[in-house]
Amino acid sequence: MEESPKRILISAVVIIIVAGIMLFIFLTFTRQLQQAIEIRNAASESSAESESTDIAGATSAPWDPDFSMPES
């Protein structure tokens, strides 16, 4: 069953087009993923900075594991 050169050419063009579409989707997805990671990192950095100060603007002391509540 010999395939005609026209049919082979059409198959090759279809394969190249499908591969191009898949590459475009992959690159778009990775770019959006990278932007989401950058946004998350920026949000976590800003929340870490805001946690270091309380409402009055004073820096909060680190948690002391040896601290015990005074008995009343």
- What residue segments make up the domains of the chain, in order of their start? 1-46
Q: How far apart are CA 5 and CA 12, in angstroms?
A: 11
C-alpha 41, offset from chain centre: 9
| Residue 22 amino acid letter | M
> What is the pTM for the complete model shown?
0.52
Q: How far apart are CA 22 and CA 15, in angstroms?
A: 11
9-49 tens-digit pLDDT:
999 999 999 999 999 999 999 999 999 989 888 888 776 55
